[in-house]
Structure 1
Amino acid sequence: MNITLVAGARPNFIKVAPIIEAITRQKARGMAINYRLIHTGQHYDTNLSARFFEELNIPTPDLNLEVGSGTQAEQTAAIMIGFERELHQNPCDLVIVVGDVTSTMACAIVAKKAHIQVAHVEAGIRSGDLNMPEEINRMVTDSITDYFFTTSTYANAHLKRLGVPESKIFFVGNVMIDTLMKHAPRFKRPPLWEALGLSAKQYFVLTLHRPHNVDHPQELDQLIARIVSHSQGLPLIFPVHPRTQTLLGGLQVSYDNLHLIAPLGYLEFNYLVKHALAVITDSGGITEEATVMHVPCITLRDTTERPETCAMGTNILVGNDPKLMETAFNRLYSGQWQEGVIPELWDGQTATRIVDHLIALFKSS
């Protein structure tokens, strides 16, 4: 079985690492399974790309399409052109796409047009918000996927409502958590810990990158001011996404306890999350990691494609509602935050289950 595995952005790198390890283990046992790793270059900043490959021990990609930045349409087109050439030169039996970034959708479309089967890892999740590019990526990818590997019973139920046969749905758990659990002992304290005099549970981690939060300068300015006003003077550590950095450039954002820093690697960033009083974010993946690490998470979104992090985990949605934000911070300071439990099959063995299913499928075909 020849597999082409696609990664394009930071969340993808975290998800492909354990899948590569599971494939490598099966190959070492004599299984006829091979893979090519294709990096689309959707994320090209060193801290968001190459550093993750190094820290997570991901092999050098067989090909980097180097698509770089651009509009949604420009990136999609560049990825499709490059990936079509790749599949023509290196045919395979299966393309595995992960997550919900532009690369996920673009490569799934190219594979299906080349009559190659597609497996989608993290299939079936939905936010219901069509203003999110990721939601469109999910919908398109799942509409042409052959094998659906899901993270939760919510995703299973959604796929069944869409009419996907149960025989095509494989509830395997969350592959991102495989990486988190494996590397947790290696989390390392970043130099800024001493430089800023940080101490455990006495600071916040803040991340912002969603268009609805960062695309309008005045609203972004007000959002940051509101967060600072609820921080009680505790340090706010804000690793700034390159896209957000550009938008912040025109604002005079300056608060004594707000620290804008360059993007961190996986090991340093998750060290900060693990020891934070809480995370304030608009990221979906961070809500999953915070849930497993039992860290309170305040999500600046009205919807989530990961409802299990709210129903079972440590996540609360506040959107941009000042009252909801105030309520969340009051719960945090009063010690009344929900403790949360780790969702089913988020146990560090997801990638093993994925590869076992794939081997069984191809043996029976």
Structure 2
Amino acid sequence: MNCRVHLIAAARPNFMKIAPLYHVLAEQPWIDARIVHTGQHYDRNMSENFFLDLRLPDPHFHLEVGSGTHAEQTAKVMVAYEKICSRRSRPDWTIVVGDVNSTIACALAATKLWIPVIHLEAGLRSSDRRMPEEINRLVTDAISDVLWTPSPDADENLLREGVAPERIDRVGNIMIDSYEMMRPQIEAAPGPRKFGLRRGEYAVVTLHRPSNVDQRETLVSLVTQLHSTSAYLPLLFAVHPRTRKKLVEFGLWASLESNPSLRLTEPLGYVEFMALVSAARLVITDSGGVQEESTYLGIPCLTLRENTERPITVMQGTNRLVPSHLLTANVQGVLRGEWAKGMCPQSWDGRTALRCLAALKRRHEAMVATH
């Protein structure tokens, strides 16, 4: 029962999600697991370094699509991935993860070639169609054959949209597998010491979403809040390339550099970044994955967004949606102890990849039996 599987990786969160799954699949003699790197994130610190941290091999295929508009990027990935699937390397299953442009592009290309598609991290919804990621999630779930969900709310979203229950497998949160897989290295990393910070006495900041960084007025307001927040707590700001470009363009970079309570750094590898997050007093972010990791670690997370596709981190975890103009006030609240302790959602236990393997085995055996 040989089974060839393509794991699609495009952006930093994808690498973290495929790593534990790749390692579990690669141990199976009946599975030929291959990594397809679309090249959507091409900054070295945001791609190659993550492969090293997560002990992943060099990608078996590299599409090298680079940047571009949403349409350009999606189209380039579709064309490039279709060529791979049309050769002898056609997979039995294509596994896409997350909600980036490469997710929907590879799902579309595979589906039209009658290759079964599995969406890992299916069913997440922000209910905000202004976000391109929401469109990617909706379309990918609609055309995928199998939907691997992280939590009960994701199942409910899919069922409400009319998805047949037999297409849904709740497997848990694969991001937690990545953390547990790398925990020894994370705990051994220098963490805050490298930046002259003390454990539990600083905040980690990440910002990259267009709604926060693309408009001058919004970004000026956010930077003002970061300056005022840094008076109460030192900030370590891991600056996304997109964000840095806008900070420079809007004339805001120099003021951040000159603030002694603000440490600026380039994007960090997974181990180094998680060593900083796990030792932080709180996290300020607009990222999806960090909301989950902070909930797992029990660390207050201030998410600078109007909505989240991970509401379970708010309902059960330590995450809260915070308007940007109230950032400093909310940080002060955390420092006064006015923040919910939260709990870890069910099946966020480091065993998601094993549940994925079991689900794949069951479905592949059924598929082989019917052919």
TM over 0.5: yes
The one-letter code of the counterpart of 1:86 is I
Aligned to 2:21: 19
The one-letter code of the counterpart of 1:127 is S
Q: 1:106-132: per-residue Cα shift (whole Å, max 9, x none)?
A: 000000111111000000100111121
C-alpha deviation, 1:166, in angstroms: 1.1
The one-letter code of the counterpart of 1:53 is F
C-alpha deviation, 1:327, in angstroms: 4.6
C-alpha deviation, 1:292, in angstroms: 0.8
Note if 1:262 corresponds to 2:266.
yes
Counterpart-to-counterpart distance in 2, 1:195 and 1:91: 45
Aligned to 1:314: 318
* 1:91–1:196 CA distance, 2 compared to 1 (3 A): closer
Secondary structure at 1:331's aligned position in 2? helix
Q: 1:24-61: per-residue Cα shift (whole Å, max 9, x none)?
A: 2222xxxx221221100001111100000011001111
Q: Please, what TM-score do these two structures have when normalized by structure 2?
A: 0.93
Counterpart-to-counterpart distance in 1, 2:252 and 2:288: 28
Secondary structure at 2:317's aligned position in 1? coil
Gaps of 5+ in 1: none
Counterpart-to-counterpart distance in 2, 1:108 and 1:15: 17
Counterpart-to-counterpart distance in 1, 2:113 and 2:152: 31
Note if 1:280 corresponds to 2:260.
no
The one-letter code of the counterpart of 2:281 is L
Aligned to 1:271: 275
Aligned to 1:160: 159
The one-letter code of the counterpart of 2:262 is L
Q: 1:65-118: per-residue Cα shift (whole Å, max 9, x none)?
A: 001111111111111110000000121211110111111000000001111110
C-alpha deviation, 1:188, in angstroms: 5.7
Counterpart-to-counterpart distance in 2, 1:194 and 1:341: 29
8 Å Cα contact 2:230/2:262 also seen in 1: no
The one-letter code of the counterpart of 1:332 is V
Aligned to 1:10: 12
8 Å Cα contact 1:150/1:156 also seen in 2: yes
C-alpha deviation, 1:162, in angstroms: 1.0
8 Å Cα contact 1:188/1:268 also seen in 2: no
Counterpart-to-counterpart distance in 1, 2:131 and 2:14: 18
Aligned to 2:309: 305
Aligned to 1:109: 108
8 Å Cα contact 1:189/1:272 also seen in 2: no
Secondary structure at 1:205's aligned position in 2? strand
Note if 1:63 corresponds to 2:61.
yes
Secondary structure at 2:28's aligned position in 1? helix
Secondary structure at 1:298's aligned position in 2? strand
Larger deviation, residues 184-193 vs 5-14: 184-193
The one-letter code of the counterpart of 2:14 is N
Note if 1:252 corresponds to 2:252.
yes
* 1:222–1:107 CA distance, 2 compared to 1 (3 A): same
Counterpart-to-counterpart distance in 1, 2:220 and 2:84: 43
Counterpart-to-counterpart distance in 2, 1:71 and 1:10: 19
Counterpart-to-counterpart distance in 1, 2:356 and 2:225: 43
Secondary structure at 1:13's aligned position in 2? helix
RMSD: 1.5
Counterpart-to-counterpart distance in 2, 1:149 and 1:63: 24
8 Å Cα contact 2:226/2:328 also seen in 1: no
Gaps of 5+ in 2: none
8 Å Cα contact 2:225/2:328 also seen in 1: no
Q: 1:292-332: per-residue Cα shift (whole Å, max 9, x none)?
A: 11111000001000011111111010133x34x35522320
Secondary structure at 1:316's aligned position in 2? strand
The one-letter code of the counterpart of 1:352 is L
Aligned to 1:172: 171
Query: What count of residue pairs does the alignment treat as equivalent?
Result: 359
Secondary structure at 1:26's aligned position in 2? coil
Q: Identity over the aligned pairs, expressed in percent?
A: 46
Counterpart-to-counterpart distance in 1, 2:13 and 2:342: 23
